[in-house]
Amino acid sequence: MQRFKPLSRLLIDPPPAERVVAFRRNGEVDAADLLSDVAMLSARLRATASGRFLLITDDSYAAAVGLLALSGSGGIAVLPPNRQSETLRDLAADAVGVLRDGSVEANGGALGGLPAIDLLGGTASDPVAFGELDRDAPLIEFRTSGTTGDGRPVVKALRHLEDEVVALEARFGAALPRDAKIFATASHQHIYGLLFRVLWPLASGRPFQAETLLHQQELLPRIAAADCAGLVTTPVHLKRLAASGGLRLLHGICAAVYSSGGPLDVETAESVGDQLGVAPYEIFGSTETGGVAARRRDIDGEIWRPLPQVAIRRRDPDGRLEVESPFVSAGDDLGGGRMRARMSDRIDSLPGSGFLLLGRVDRTVKIAEKRLSLPEMERLLCEHDYVAEAALLVLEVAGRRRVHAVVVPTEAGRACCEAESRRGFGVRLAEHLGRYFDPVMLPRAWRFVDALPRDSQDKLPVKSLAGLFADRTGSGRPRLPRVISEQRSVDALERQLEIPDDLAQLEGHFDAFPVVAGVVQLAWALDAAADWLGQRPVLAGLEALKFPMPLRPGRSLTLRVERSGRGPNLRFRLHDGEFVYAVGRAVLVEPEPEPEPECNPGRA
Amino acid sequence: METLEQQIKELIIDVLMLEDVTPADIESRAALFVDGLGLDSIDALELAMALEERYGVKIGDDPEQNQEIFASVHNLAAFVTENRV
């Protein structure tokens, strides 16, 4: 008997009753349990209205039961991308019920009193006669963050998943023994996790872990206790696992590691390879297209190789990736079960169907593997009464990619900011966004300005936005003062600054009496000028340079840079209303104009 | 205990690079996550690593227990006091 079962035939041609399907911290679930759980849930589903059900569980086995039962009874599973109340409220609006279990806290309010069915809570029912599952009926609805605004539904039929599972077995099956236990840190609420940790193991007869173990102190020993294992993970988790050195424990046990959801850095990929003796498979795809390509750095280097059944091509003029496969569920229908979709990723295609990824064309970014549309968040931010204009960008701070916000407050916003505090104001805006977005996506730092730093063509260069956070993005102690606010015009730039107490340049400048050296103040003035002008001024000389008062850390200051008479020369002044700390004129070499990249934080 | 709580507040601000927050702004018994200081799951991982490194404590994988430990600075300090090496 063949071990691999197409998902549509799993219930009518099940594995042997005692075959372990899934396992938990305590206990295992075999094929007989699976059939009986699906039968019980099917019986309850047939007694209720058919339609869309929110599927909310942290237990991957329960999710599998829910999907199989829904497929058998003509229902659709809606997988919420997060558990925020606004998201659930939106999704609940056109659902007929909720399938859940004890692994998830009740969030009844947001679900608007939808009837809830416990995924695994049924009582023994009369035997249900299973039929072959319908491959073509809509079965799952994912929500993604769209590139142009609202999150949109992506609907998949069983055939999209079933065909991809066949392709996964064809591509990766040979390197993963039949009895490998599948562990995962990636959630089944997204397509990658659902396919790799639930559906592929289910079809291929490999037992999978129902719980998600995120802490390596528990995860690593549990994998080590298996004879043979596979690990389905994401770059954030894999980076931590690799950094701990603990993967060495799994050498010779963990036969394959999969990573998807965002780019995996080379160091992590190599470190995993060193520790396990086998480099991780990186998977590239999207909710709309399903899996597209994979690579192993030790074999493929930077080159992505399409999965079986997938054809790719580079679309000029912008070099976007076009994908054609039976797993694509949103795009042009080519007949024969195949669809074609254009992705927002730019590629270089190579001979022999491989390709290189060059970056995204839009402003959709990933934070901790979750896709975020910056324009959508900007739009929602601007809906707040306190916000006139907003621009978001992603910066890496202390090794983590985080959203940062530059906001032009309205009159009311300014009044609130003064009445409360800058932090209080930022917290209010974050709370507003928190109704729509996962907490990890919320802006980590805020800058409130009189106007967004647009250039002469009215574009918003990333460099200018990033310049407002320059104090946060270096490594180690801050080298730059923090920008509290700024006003810019064609003639002048004025910034309110705060000098951190732990400024790096204080090193060696008098422990007993720390002062900021004049040359450091001068460098700050030139940095500000570079942000303002869009390019670094080239100094021909300095005139009338004075540092009338020693500048101590911890102070709040105003830095003004303005054009000085004719030509490109600049005048600058650092003062606090009472004292002047630095003043002078910079004589500049006439600059060469340089084109600015447009605002595209997706590549930041 | 007082000083340990103070140290942990400073650690939180430093490690997570929180802006406009001083140790005095963090109440020892106030919630750290979502409703209180607004920390999130990435912060939790980061903070756990920093605590393990700084105090040699091992933070386990029981979600309920961790929710308890990470609930407030007071609870973190109590956990560190009991488990530090």
CB of A484 within 8 Å of a chain B CB? The answer is: no
Considering only residues 231 to 250 of chain A, which have any Cβ-Cβ distance to chain B shorter than 8 Å?
Answer: 236, 240
Can you tell me the mean pLDDT for A505-518?
A: 71
For CA atoms A472, A260, A64, A53, give the dihedral sign.
positive
Identity of the residue in A215, A218, A422 whose CB atom sits nearest the CB atom of B20: A422
Over the stretch A389-442, which tens digit does the pLDDT of each residue have? Answer: 899 999 988 778 899 999 999 999 989 888 888 888 888 999 899 888 888 899
User: Whole-angstrom Cα distance, residue A405 to residue A361?
Assistant: 21
Over the stretch A332-368, which tens digit does the pLDDT of each residue have? Answer: 999 999 999 999 888 988 988 899 988 777 788 888 8
Taking the domains of chain B in order of start, what are their residue ranges?
2-83
Identity of the residue in A426, A440, A472 whose CB atom sits nearest the CB atom of B40: A440
Backbone angles phi, psi at A364, to 5 degrees: -95, 130
User: Whole-angstrom Cα distance, residue A505 to residue A507?
Assistant: 5
Over the stretch A88-122, which tens digit does the pLDDT of each residue have? Answer: 888 888 899 999 987 776 666 678 788 899 999 87
Q: Return the percentage of chain A with pLDDT > 90, whole number.
A: 49
> Which of chain A's residues have a Cβ under 8 Å away from the Cβ of B10?
none
Q: What type of residue is A64?
A: A
Domain with CATH 3.40.50.980 in chain A: 1-212
**Across the interface, do A398 and B17 touch by the CB < 8 Å criterion?**
yes
Nearest CA in chain B to A236: B42
User: Whole-angstrom Cα distance, residue B76 to residue B52?
Assistant: 12
Q: Which residues pair with A447 in a beta bridge?
A: A406
DSSP 8-state class, residue B33 = B
Nearest CA in chain B to A440: B40
Please tell me the CATH code under which domain A363-448 is placed: 3.30.300.30
- Helices A374-382, A422-434: crossing angle, 10 deg rounding: 110
**Across the interface, do B21 and A423 touch by the CB < 8 Å criterion?**
yes
**Across the interface, do B46 and A400 touch by the CB < 8 Å criterion?**
yes
User: Whole-angstrom Cα distance, residue A183 to residue A208?
Assistant: 6
Top-tier CATH class for A1-212: alpha beta
Nearest CA in chain B to A502: B14
Domain with CATH 3.30.300.30 in chain A: 363-448
pLDDT of A543 > 80? The answer is yes
Confidence of residue A530 (pLDDT cuts 50, 70, 90): confident
**Across the interface, do A398 and B40 touch by the CB < 8 Å criterion?**
no
Extract the tokens encoding A375.
């324009």
Helix (H, G, I), strand (E, B) or coil at A76: strand
Over the stretch A185-232, which tens digit does the pLDDT of each residue have? Answer: 999 999 999 999 999 999 999 999 999 988 888 999 999 999 999 999
Extract the tokens encoding B50.
């920093």
Extract the tokens encoding A145.
């963050």
Size of interface A-B (CB pairs under 8 A): 51
Strand order in the sheet with A20-23: A28-30, A20-23, A208-209, A181-184, A229-233, A254-259, A281-286, A290-296, A305-306
pLDDT of A476: 60
CATH 1.10.1200.10 assigned to domain B2-83? The reply is yes
> Which of chain A's residues have a Cβ under 8 Å away from the Cβ of B41?
368, 439-440
Which of A85, A209, A366, A400 to substitute to test the interface with B, most B CBs within 10 Å?
Answer: A400
pLDDT of B2: 63
HSE-CB for A414 with a 13 A CA cutoff = 10
> Which of chain B's residues have a Cβ under 8 Å away from the Cβ of A422?
20
pLDDT of A591: 52
Nearest CA in chain B to A219: B61
DSSP per position, A299-310 = HHTT-BEEPTT-
**Across the interface, do B61 and A213 touch by the CB < 8 Å criterion?**
yes
